[in-house]
C-alpha cells in the first residue's frame, strides 16, 4: 500500500508563471507542484541552454593539461572505467577521443567479480602492461590505497568521478569531482559520462559544442541510466544529446536501438531507461562489461548488430535469472508468512547471481512496500544488496550492523555488503532491532500527484504541452495526477487478457483508461462504482481522431480516508509482530460475529484486495484492522485463500461446517481484549 501525496499548487503562483511565460496552465501547475513556484526557480529549471565551462570544475584544467601532455609525450594511457552503463559510456567517450588524437591509449573495465573501482591487482597488471598514466572515469574518488600503489610503482593518476568523496582524497595529479567541498562550479550533478564529456571539451580548449556533437548521444544515455537529477545542465545535456541520438551514426547505438524494438519509435528518456540502458547493464551483470564497450566502439554495422543481439540475449537471461530469484524469494515468504509483517524484508538464497539481486530487491521493495535486503550465499560467504525508500537509510542500517559485516557501503536508498554465512541470523535480528529503534512507525512508499485533474487539463493540447517539461527522470518525474470520483462505465481485458481497458466518466466526459499488467479481475474494479485514481496522461491518435487516454498507476475506492487506512496497517502489523499495544486497540481490532459475516459475504470467487474492500466495509462500520483480522481468520480456517504477493483474497468452496471459535487469531485477540 502506498501513501498518496496530492499537491495543491498556489493558484497565484500558477497564474504568475503562466503570465510571464509561454507555458500552458497545466505545465505551470506541474512546475509549481514541484517547488518551482516563482519565476526565478522555474527559469533556472527550464532555461538552461548550454553547459557551463568545464574549467569551472576544480582540477579540470590540470587534468586536461596532464592528459594532453601525456598524449604529446607518447605515454601509454589507460582509461579505467566501471561495469555499469555510465562507466561503459564514460570509457568509450574518453577512449574514443584520445584514439582520434593519436594517443597511445587503452582501456580497462573491471569485471563485477573484481568489485567496484580500482583494485591493486588491476593496478599491478596495468603497470606490467607499460601503462604510465591511469585516468579513471566514473570511479576513483575512494581509491586511497590504490592511488598510493600507483605512485609507488612510478605511474601517474588522474581521477574523474561523480560520487561523493570521503574525508580524504586520493593522491593523484588531478581529482576532478564536482562534489568536492572546494568545488564551486555552477552545477554538481553530472554522471561519470557527463564529467568525461566535459573533460574532452577541456582537452580541446573548452569547446563544449564539439564535445556534445561527438559524444552527446553517449552522455545522454548514461545520464538517464545513472538516475542522476535531470535538472539544470543535465536536463540540457539529455535534451540536446537525445537530438544527436535520434540521428546518430554510431553503429552500436543504432544496432542496440533496433534489437530493443525502438527503431521505428520516437526515443524518450523513459524508453531509454527501460530498454536501452538495461541491455548495456546486462553485460556487466551476467557476463563481461567489455562486450558493451566493444559494441559502442564497433564501426562495422554488421558486427555491431551481432554484438547488440548478444547483449539482447544476455538481457533475456538476466530477466529469467531475476524471475527465478524472485520466485524463490516469494517461496520463502509463503513458507514463513510472518516475514511479511516485519519492518524490513531479508531474503537469502544459495547461488543467487550477485549481479541481479539488487534489481530483485527493488522489485520486492515495490511489491511489499518495505525496505529489502537480498543475500546471495556461496562457499560460506554472503554477498548482499539492499534497496530502501523514505526515511529508512540503508547505509545507517548497515553501519548499525557493522560488527557483523566484512565490508559494506552505500547511501540512503541502496547499498551493498558482505558477511559470513554464519552471521546471517544475527544480521537479520540486528537489522530488525535497528528498524524498531529508529523507525517505530516504518515509512510507506509514496506517490506524488501534481494536482487534482480539472476539465481544462484533459484536452489533447494541454497534455501535449507537458512535453515542454521533458526529459523526465530523477528529480523531474513524469507527472502523475489525481483523478477523483472516476465512474467506471465499462471494463474489459485487452492484449490477450494481460491488460485492462476501461471506459470511464471523469469531469463529465468519457475517457479511455488503461491499467497495464493487470487483468480486470486483478484490478478489483467494478463497473458502476466510483474510484480515485492516480494517472499519467497520454495523447493517442486513431483514425485521424486525437484523444486523451489515462494510464492508471494506482486506484482506490472513493471515500477511503488515507490516514486511517495507513494507521490501521501499522497497528495491524505491530500486532502480527507480537508487539504490545494499548488494550483499547485490541478491542477496536476484534471483529464481531456480525462483522465476520459481512466480510465473508463480501469476498467471492473473484480475487479482491483488502484495500478494495475497505470502502464497502467502512460503510458497515468495520475498520481496516478488523477487516484484515477477519481475512486472516477465514484464511486460517480454510475458507479463504490469500495471495501474499498480490494481496488478493478469494473465497474457497466450503468443505465442512466451520466454527469461528476454532480460529487461533480470533481467540488470541479476544483474550487480549478482555485482559485487565
Q: How confident is the model at residue 477 (pLDDT cuts 50, 70, 90)?
A: very high
Q: What's the CA gap between 30 and 467, in Å, rounded?
A: 12
39: exposed, middle or buried (Cβ count in 10 Å: 0-12, 13-18, 19+): middle
Give the whole-number percent of the chain exceeding pLDDT 70. Answer: 100
CA-closest candidate to residue 196, choices 180, 179, 218, 181: 218
Residues above pLDDT 90, as percent of the chain? 88
Per the listing, cell 572546494 goes with 182
**Cα–Cα distance measured from residue 41 to residue 217, given in angstroms and rounded to the nearest whole number:** 28
Quick one: average pLDDT of 395-424?
93
Mean pLDDT, residues 439-461 taken together: 96
pLDDT mean over 353-364 = 95
Backbone dihedral angles phi then psi of residue 506, each to the nearest 5 degrees:
-140, 130
Per the structure block, which three cell numbers stand in for 599? 466480510
More confident residue, 485 or 647: 485
Domain with CATH 3.10.310.30 in the chain: 336-442
Is CATH 2.40.50.460 what the domain over 448-557 is classified as, yes or no? Answer: yes
What CATH code would you report for 54-248?
3.90.1640.30
As a whole number, mean pLDDT of residues 220-232 equals: 95
Where are the domain boundaries for CATH 2.40.50.460 in the chain? Answer: 448-557
Rounded average pLDDT over 331-357: 95
- pLDDT bin (cut points 50, 70, 90) of residue 224 is very high
Cα–Cα nearest to 389, from 430, 438, 344, 335 = 344
Residue 541 pLDDT grade (very low, low, confident, very high; cuts 50, 70, 90): confident
**Predicted local distance difference test score (pLDDT) of residue 112:** 87
Q: What is the pLDDT of residues 616-671, one digit of tens each?
A: 898 899 999 999 999 999 999 999 999 888 889 999 998 888 899 999 999 999 99
Tell me: pLDDT of 676 over 80: no
CA distance 452 to 673: 42
Within the chain, all domains assigned CATH 3.90.1640.30 are found at: 54-248
Residue 535 · residue 550 · CB < 8 Å: yes
Predicted pLDDT of residue 432: 97
SS3 484: strand
Query: How crowded is the C-beta side of 359, counted as CA atoms within 13 Å?
Result: 21
Are 137 and 192 spatial neighbours (Cβ–Cβ below 8 Å)?
A: yes
Looking at the domain 336-442, which fold is it?
Answer: Diaminopimelate Epimerase; Chain A, domain 1 (3.10.310)
* pLDDT tens column, 106-152: 999 999 888 888 999 999 999 999 999 999 999 999 999 999 999 99
Average pLDDT over residues 572-581: 96
Amino acid at each position: 500500500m502506498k501513501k498518496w501525496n496530492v499537491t495543491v499548487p498556489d493558484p497565484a503562483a500558477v497564474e504568475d508563471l503562466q503570465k510571464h511565460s509561454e507555458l500552458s496552465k497545466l505545465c505551470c501547475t506541474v512546475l509549481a507542484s514541484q517547488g518551482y513556484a516563482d519565476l526565478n526557480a522555474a527559469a533556472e529549471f527550464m532555461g538552461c541552454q548550454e553547459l557551463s565551462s568545464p574549467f569551472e570544475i576544480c582540477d579540470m584544467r590540470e587534468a586536461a593539461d596532464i592528459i594532453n601532455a601525456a598524449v604529446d609525450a607518447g605515454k601509454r594511457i589507460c582509461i579505467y572505467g566501471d561495469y555499469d552503463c555510465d562507466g561503459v559510456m564514460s570509457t568509450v567517450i574518453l577512449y574514443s577521443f584520445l584514439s582520434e588524437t593519436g594517443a597511445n591509449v587503452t582501456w580497462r573495465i573491471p569485471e563485477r567479480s573484481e568489485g567496484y573501482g580500482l583494485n591493486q591487482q588491476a593496478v599491478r597488471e596495468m603497470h606490467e602492461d607499460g601503462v604510465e598514466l591511469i585516468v579513471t572515469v566514473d570511479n576513483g574518488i575512494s581509491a586511497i590505497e590504490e592511488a598510493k600503489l600507483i605512485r609507488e610503482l612510478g605511474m601517474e593518476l588522474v581521477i574523474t568521478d561523480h560520487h561523493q568523496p570521503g574525508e580524504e582524497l586520493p593522491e593523484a595529479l588531478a581529482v576532478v569531482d564536482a562534489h568536492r567541498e572546494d568545488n564551486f562550479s555552477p552545477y554538481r550533478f553530472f554522471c561519470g559520462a557527463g564529467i568525461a564529456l566535459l573533460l574532452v571539451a577541456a582537452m580541446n580548449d573548452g569547446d563544449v559544442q564539439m564535445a556534445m556533437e561527438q559524444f552527446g548521444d553517449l552522455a545522454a544515455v548514461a545520464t538517464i541510466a545513472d538516475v542522476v537529477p535531470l535538472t539544470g545542465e543535465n536536463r540540457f545535456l539529455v535534451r540536446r544529446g537525445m537530438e544527436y541520438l535520434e540521428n546518430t551514426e554510431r553503429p552500436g547505438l543504432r544496432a542496440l536501438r533496433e534489437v530493443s524494438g525502438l527503431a521505428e519509435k520516437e526515443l524518450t528518456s523513459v524508453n531509454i531507461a527501460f530498454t536501452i540502458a538495461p541491455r548495456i547493464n546486462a553485460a556487466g551483470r551476467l557476463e563481461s562489461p567489455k562486450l558493451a564497450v566493444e559494441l559502442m566502439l564497433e564501426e562495422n554495422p554488421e558486427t555491431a548488430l551481432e554484438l547488440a543481439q548478444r547483449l539482447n540475449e544476455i538481457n533475456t537471461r538476466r530477466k529469467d535469472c531475476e524471475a527465478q530469484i524472485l520466485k524463490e524469494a516469494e517461496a520463502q515468504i509463503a513458507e514463513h508468512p510472518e516475514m511479511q509483517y516485519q519492518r524490513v524484508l531479508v531474503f537469502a538464497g544459495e547461488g543467487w547471481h550477485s549481479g541481479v539481486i539488487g534489481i530483485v530487491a527493488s522489485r520486492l521493495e515495490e511489491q511489499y512496500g518495505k525496505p529489502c535486503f537480498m543475500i546471495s550465499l556461496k562457499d560460506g560467504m554472503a554477498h548482499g544488496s539492499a534497496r530502501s525508500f523514505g526515511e529508512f537509510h540503508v547505509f545507517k542500517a548497515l553501519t548499525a550492523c557493522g560488527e557483523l559485516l566484512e565490508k559494506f557501503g552505500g547511501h540512503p536508498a541502496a547499498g551493498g555488503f558482505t558477511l559470513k554465512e554464519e552471521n546471517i541470523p544475527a544480521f537479520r535480528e540486528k537489522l530488525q532491532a535497528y528498524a524498531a529503534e529508529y523507525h517505530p512507525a516504518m515509512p510507506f512508499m509514496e506517490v506524488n500527484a501534481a494536482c487534482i485533474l480539472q476539465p481544462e487539463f484533459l484536452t489533447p493540447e494541454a497534455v501535449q504541452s507537458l512535453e515542454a517539461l521533458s526529459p523526465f527522470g530523477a528529480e523531474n518525474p513524469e507527472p502523475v495526477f489525481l483523478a477523483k470520483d472516476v465512474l467506471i462505465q465499462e471494463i474489459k481485458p485487452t492484449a490477450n487478457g494481460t491488460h485492462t481497458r476501461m471506459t470511464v466518466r471523469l469531469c463529465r466526459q468519457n475517457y479511455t483508461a488503461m491499467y497495464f499488467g493487470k487483468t480486470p479481475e486483478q484490478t478489483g474494479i467494478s463497473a458502476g462504482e466510483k474510484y480515485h485514481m492516480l494517472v499519467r496522461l497520454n495523447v493517442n491518435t486513431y483514425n485521424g481522431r486525437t484523444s486523451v487516454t489515462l494510464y492508471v498507476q494506482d486506484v482506490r475506492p472513493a471515500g477511503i480516508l488515507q490516514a486511517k487506512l495507513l494507521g490501521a496497517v501499522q497497528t495491524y502489523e505491530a500486532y502480527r509482530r507480537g508487539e504490545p499495544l494499548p488494550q483499547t486497540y485490541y478491542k477496536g481490532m476484534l471483529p464481531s460475529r456480525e462483522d465476520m459475516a459481512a466480510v465473508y459475504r463480501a469476498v467471492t470467487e473473484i480475487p479482491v484486495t483488502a484495500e478494495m474492500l475497505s470502502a464497502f466495509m467502512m460503510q458497515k462500520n468495520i475498520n481496516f484492522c478488523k477487516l484484515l483480522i477477519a481475512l486472516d481468520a477465514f484464511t486460517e480456517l480454510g475458507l479463504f485463500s490469500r495471495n501474499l504477493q498480490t494481496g488478493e483474497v478469494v473465497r474457497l468452496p466450503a468443505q465442512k461446517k466451520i466454527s469461528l471459535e476454532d480460529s487461533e487469531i480470533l481467540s488470541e485477540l479476544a483474550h487480549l481484549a478482555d485482559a485487565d
